[in-house]
Amino acid sequence: MITGIRGLCNGLGPALYGFVFYLFHVELTDTDGSDKGAKPNMVNPTDESAIIPGPPFLFGACSVLLSLLVALNRPPI
């Protein structure tokens, strides 16, 4: 059962978080190869909605807290 859950997480995790990074306009690849003061992880540095790449990481932290709450509130075995 644990191996099955791990397999689902290995398949669905990158797809889910890839979509979350896409929603918040966070680009993790170096597109031009230069590092001249512009933020290399942003699609468009002038886009005000993409200045802070924190929302995907906040989403990850909230999912960890949610899983912790579920684990703490499960019935004893």
Domain borders along the chain are 2-72
User: If you search the block for the tokens 């397999």, which residue do you land on?
Assistant: 7
Q: Which two tokens stand for residue 62?
A: 């909230």
pLDDT at 41 over 80: no
pTM of the model: 0.52
C-alpha span between 43 and 49 (Å, rounded): 11
* pLDDT band for position 68 (cuts 50, 70, 90): very high
pLDDT at 36 over 70: no
- For residues 41-55, give the mean pLDDT: 59
pLDDT at 60 over 90: no
The confidence score (pLDDT) of residue 43 equals: 57
